[in-house]
Structure 1
Amino acid sequence: MDRSSVVGDSRSIQSNQQGPHERLLDIVKRHQQHPFRKPIAAFNQAAFEHASQWRQQRPQAPLILDAGCGVGVSTRQLALQFPEHLVIGVDRSEDRLSRRLGTLPENALLVRADLVDFWRLAEQAGWQPERQYVLYPNPYPKASQVKLRWHGHPVFPSMLTLGGRLESRSNWLLYLEEMALVLEFMGHSPVELSRLPETQLAASPLTPFERKYHLSGQPLWQLCINL
Structure 2
Amino acid sequence: MFTLRGPSLSVLLVRRGEEPFQGMPALPGGFVHADESADVAARRELAEETGLDSFPGHLEQLATYSEPGRDPRMRVVSVVFVAFAPNLPEPSAGSDAADAYWMPVEDASRESLAFDHAQILADALERVRSKLEYTTLATHFVESPFSIRDLQTVYEAVWDVTWDRANFRRKVLGTRGFVEPVEGVADAASTGGRRAQLYRPGDATTLHPPIPRP
Which structure's residues are more often helix, by fraction? Answer: 1
Rg larger for: 2
Give the TM-score, by structure 2 length. 0.29
Which structure's residues are more often strand, by fraction? Answer: 2
